[in-house]
Amino acid sequence: MDNEGFRIPRRFVARDAVDEELDRLERALRASTDEIARNRDAVNRELGPQYGAIFEAHLQMLNDPRLRGEIEEFIRGRNYSPEYAVSRTLRRYTKVFQSLENAQFAERAHDIVDIEKRLLRNLLGRRREEISRLTSPVLVLAHNLTPSETANLDRAFVQGFVTEIGGPGSHTAIVAGALEIPAVVGLGPFLTDVSGGDVVIIDGNRGEVVLHPDDETLAAYRQEITQGRTLAVRLEGLRDLPAETADGTRLELFGNIEFPHEVQHCLDRGSNGVGLYRTEFLYLSSEVEPTEDVHYDAYCDVIRTMSNRPVVIRTLDLGADKIAQGRAASTERNPCLGLRSIRISLRNLPLFRTQLRAIVRASVLGDVRIMFPLITTVLELRQAKMVLSDVIEDLEENNIPFRRDLKIGMMVEVPAAVIMLDQFVQELDFISIGTNDLTQYTLAVDRDNKDVADLYHSSDPAVLKLIQMAVASARRRDVPVNVCGQMSSNPVYTMLLIGMGLRQLSVTPSAIPEVKRVCRSVTVPHCEAVAARALALENARDVKNYLKEELKKVIPETTAV
Ligand code: PEP
Ligand code: MG
């Protein structure tokens, strides 16, 4: 898909339809020429001919006989559809201009992209293929996919996806985990190198994409897929065994979910419950605001399937990269530091109360716990709790049943909260460390920005020290502490987290077996020694490399990175 979401599959036209298709191309060329000429004339009038010249150049390119000849040859000689022929030809031109290290030529590349889009628009017209209406298996290669677009990908057909922009900690990447499909987010520019029908390998484990692989590479990957399946089958054997260290310390492994159907993924992997239910996806998957009953039904679904295992429902964490479908992206200059998460809920009480009522009503059905995201000050926590008390009071007055010992917790994902955590824990039943945001806010690195992705490391010693502080505060008050950021889904960090005193981890469901395998292969003193050593290192890369080495010693065949 290009920036405008056009999808250009490799299509062939029947031999006897070639003339008709050439006519279609001709019409699209003519329509595009007319449009550009109109633009040129308008700009000439309004701004003067020096600006109109930009469009004059477009016209010349579009009507260049060589370019036309190449497109026609693809249709006549290879029976390509006009869309595919246009896209192949113009992408090749774009590529050539991009490869010339000259700013002026690079600008020309933009012009060619523009021409390609205009031609495709005229060719495809209303026949534009919608990503939401797929009928056969595809890999989605796109400039960008928002978390809500990703959440709405059709799992029956989308086998994997790659985006040019976005960061490793973005929710688009997290949703890929939920969909259980291979994905690479923030690969950088590559779309001009591919066309529909090309063979592409998406290596989600290593964050790599192989375009036009040779036979040897294909064979190697096929073998890796087979090995992966064998390992998954082997790990299935762990499902009913506890996540217990070799020296007998019990851990609890919970699942992080975005959609109710993932509860089954959790159960299939033997999780002890749901440690983080990201309820904002109820908004991201729908064009209208969910009613109390929509919330309630989703929660009931999750709670019933989990049958008395803990279910931690996090209240809405909208904003930043999580924007509901059809809504404009934030115009804030710093959305991550702006109106997001609990801040939105506290300023929009009807929305917040609707959700809280649904959670509290559903709480009679199981071990429901409620968690507030992005809490930064004690005052904010108290305000959120006050709204909750108010909702509970209302339900009580109306004789609507609810769980009286509903546990209340908060996400610890802002450094200010860690620093002040001794105060917070006095008013909480549990905490959960959100390392995705904690990393973003500690290192001042946007988790969603590929340009600073090389600076985004949960293994940074500063992040580790904050986790250590948070665990210490929780322990002082005997408050259970969990880690639910992506860090806990990566087996590279399991020994470190155990060594730092964590006994609960909440992870992407598909990661449960691998993390459990690490837990069962190590002892607590060993993990403590590893953590002490890691905490003494100076930078994120050294920490990660050290942890990888240690993991390899315990599980030599690990592919974790
Ligand atoms: C986190 O920030 O670590 C977290 C678990 O929440 P989210 O990824 O949804 O922001
Ligand atoms: Mg967060």
Q: With pLDDT > 70 as the criterion, what percentage of the chain qualifies?
A: 96
Name residue 445's amino acid: V
Q: What is the pLDDT of residue 467?
A: 98
Three-state DSSP at 285 gives: coil
**DSSP track, 262-273:** HHHHHHHTT-SS
Ligand 1 pocket check for 412: Cβ under 6 Å:
no
Report which of 493, 503, 501 is spatially closest to residue 560, judged by C-alpha positions. 493
Distance 41 CA to ligand 2 centre (A): 51
With a 6 Å cutoff on the Cβ, whether 94 touches ligand 1 is no
Taking the CA atoms of 516, 453, 499 and 250 in sequence, report the sign of the dihedral they define: negative
pLDDT > 90 in the chain, percent:
65
Q: Among 279, 437, 440, say which to mutate for ligand 1: greatest number of ligand atoms within 8 Å of CB.
A: 437
Question: For the chain, what is the mean pLDDT?
Answer: 91
Query: Which atom of ligand 1 lies closest to the CA of 280?
Result: 9
Ligand 2 center to residue 424 CA distance, Å?
18
CA distance 469 to 463: 10
Nearest-ligand number for the alpha carbon of 375: 2
State the span(s) of the chain assigned CATH 3.20.20.60.
Answer: 241-410+485-554
Q: In which region does residue 309 sit, left (phi positive, over 0), alpha (psi from -120 to 50) or beta (all else)? A: beta
Cα(443) to centroid of ligand 2, in Å? Answer: 14
Where are the domain boundaries for CATH 3.50.30.10 in the chain?
Answer: 131-213
pLDDT computed for residue 64 by the predictor: 92
SS3 string of 73-105?
Answer: HHHHHHCECHHHHHHHHHHHHHHHHHHCCCHHH
pLDDT value of position 5: 62
Long-range contacts of 332-337 (CB under 8 A, 24+ apart): 336/440, 336/441, 336/446, 336/447, 336/448
CA 274 – ligand 2 centroid, Å: 16
HSE toward the beta carbon, residue 330, CA cutoff 13 A? 17
Q: Tell me the pLDDT tens digit for each residue of 476-495.
A: 999 999 999 999 999 999 99
Yes or no: say if 162 and 202 are a contact pair by the CB < 8 Å rule: yes
Mutate to test the pocket of ligand 1, among 343, 436, 467, 481 (most ligand atoms within 8 A of CB): 436
- Kindly state the average pLDDT of the residues 25-38: 92
Instruction: Give residue 409's Cα distance to chain centre.
Output: 25
Q: CATH: 3.20.20.60, 3.30.930.10, 3.40.50.10150, 3.30.830.10. Which one for 241-410+485-554? A: 3.20.20.60
437 lines ligand 1 (CB under 6 A): yes
CATH number 1.10.274.10 given to 15-124 = yes
Cα 330 to ligand 2 centre (Å):
17
Place of tokens 């159960």: 267
Which residue is closest in CA terms to ligand 1's atom 6? Answer: 434
User: What amino acid positions are annotated as catalytic residues?
Assistant: 171, 484
DSSP, residue by residue, 364-404: GGTEEEEEESS--SHHHHHHHHHHHHHHHHHHHHTT----T
Element of type H or E holding 462: helix 461-476
Residue range(s) of every CATH 1.10.274.10 domain in the chain = 15-124
State the pairing for strand pair 310-314/274-278. parallel
Q: Is the whole-model pTM more than 0.85? A: no
Q: Which residues lie across from 310 on neighbouring strands?
A: 367
Q: Which two tokens stand for residue 363?
A: 């709480």
SS3 of residue 1 by DSSP: coil
Ligand of minimum distance to the alpha carbon of 147: 1
**In 3D, which of 546, 492, 556, 554 has the Cα closest to residue 526?**
554
Residue 448 near ligand 1, beta carbon < 6 Å: no
Give the Cα separation of 298 and 282 in Å (integer).
8
Name the pLDDT band for 101 (thresholds 50, 70, 90). Answer: confident
Q: Is 317 in the pocket of ligand 1 (CB under 6 A)?
A: yes
Ligand 1 atom nearest residue 413's Cα = 2
The two structure tokens encoding residue 500: 């730092």
Which residue has the least CA distance to atom 8 on ligand 1?
436
- Atom index in ligand 1 nearest the CA of residue 171 equals 8
Minimum-distance ligand 1 atom for the alpha carbon of 435: 3
Q: Is 413 in the pocket of ligand 1 (CB under 6 A)?
A: yes
- Cα 217 to averaged position of ligand 2 atoms, centre (Å): 38
d(Cα 227, Cα 95) in Å, to the nearest integer?
Answer: 37
CATH 3.40.50.1820 fits 131-213, yes or no: no
138 phi/psi in degrees, rounded to 5: -140, 160
Cβ of 484 below 6 Å from ligand 1: yes
Contact present, 492 and 552 (Cβ < 8 Å) = no
Can you tell me which residue has the tokens 């994409």? 209
3-state SS class at 535: helix
Residues 238 and 516: their CA atoms lie apart, in Å, by: 8
Taking the C-alpha atoms of residue 381 and residue 235, their distance in angstroms, rounded to an integer, is 40
The stretch 413-427 carries a mean pLDDT of 98
258 C-alpha to center of ligand 1: Å? 11
Using one digit for the tens of pLDDT, what is the confidence trace for 507-553?
Answer: 999 999 999 999 999 999 999 999 999 999 999 999 999 999 999 99
- Which three-class secondary structure state does DSSP give residue 284? helix
Section 45-53 average pLDDT? 80
Instruction: Render pLDDT for 144-189 as a digit per residue (tens, 0 to 9).
Output: 888 777 887 888 899 999 999 888 788 888 888 888 889 999 999 8
- Contact between 198 and 174 under an 8 Å Cβ cutoff? The reply is no
Q: Whose CA is nearest to atom 10 of ligand 1?
A: 437
Phi/psi of residue 354, each to 5°? -60, -50
Confidence band of 50 (pLDDT split at 50, 70, 90): confident
CA of 420 to the centre of ligand 1 (A): 20
Task: Give nearest CA residue, ligand 1 atom 4.
Answer: 434
Beta carbons of 257 and 263 less than 8 angstroms apart: yes
| Residues sharing a CB contact under 8 Å with residue 212, sequence separation 6 or more, in sequence order | 198, 199, 200
For 281-295, b/e burial (b = at least 16 CB within 10 A) is bbbbbbeeebeeebb
Q: CA-to-CA distance for 377 and 420, rounded, in angstroms?
A: 8
Which of the four pLDDT bands, split at 50, 70 and 90, describes residue 461? very high
In short, whether 204's Cβ falls inside 6 Å of ligand 1 is no
- CA-CA-CA-CA torsion for 515, 517, 521, 524, nearest 10 degrees? 30
Q: What CA–CA distance (Å, rounded) separates 246 from 520?
A: 5
Q: Whose CA is nearest to atom 3 of ligand 1?
A: 434
